Amino acid sequence: MYNSMAYNIEEIVLSIMDEANSGPVNKDTKKSKGWSMSTIVKDITQKYGDDAGQHAREFIIKDYCKMKEYY
């Protein structure tokens, strides 16, 4: 079970996003590689468990992307 006291998943997700967005910029499109929700959720799940992965997914969809109608 995911222990919210042990890890702040939102901060970890935001850190992963920031790191991905600050990567090298494509010279043609002028954009960085960016991040993918599936990769972030997979990494969080592997490191912290299924509940943490689900929490990360919900955080990205509901809070970061503001897609409240998704649920």
> One digit per residue, pLDDT tens: the chain, 71 residues?
555 545 699 999 999 999 888 877 777 877 777 899 999 999 999 999 999 999 999 999 998 888 876 55
Domain boundaries, position 51: 1-14+34-71
- Specify the number of domains making up the chain: 1
Position 26 in a domain: no
Q: pTM score, two decimals? A: 0.75
Q: How far is CA 57 from the centre of its chain?
A: 7
Position 61 in a domain: yes
Amino acid at 56: A
Position 27 in a domain: no
Position 4 in a domain: yes
Residue 26 DSSP one-character state? P
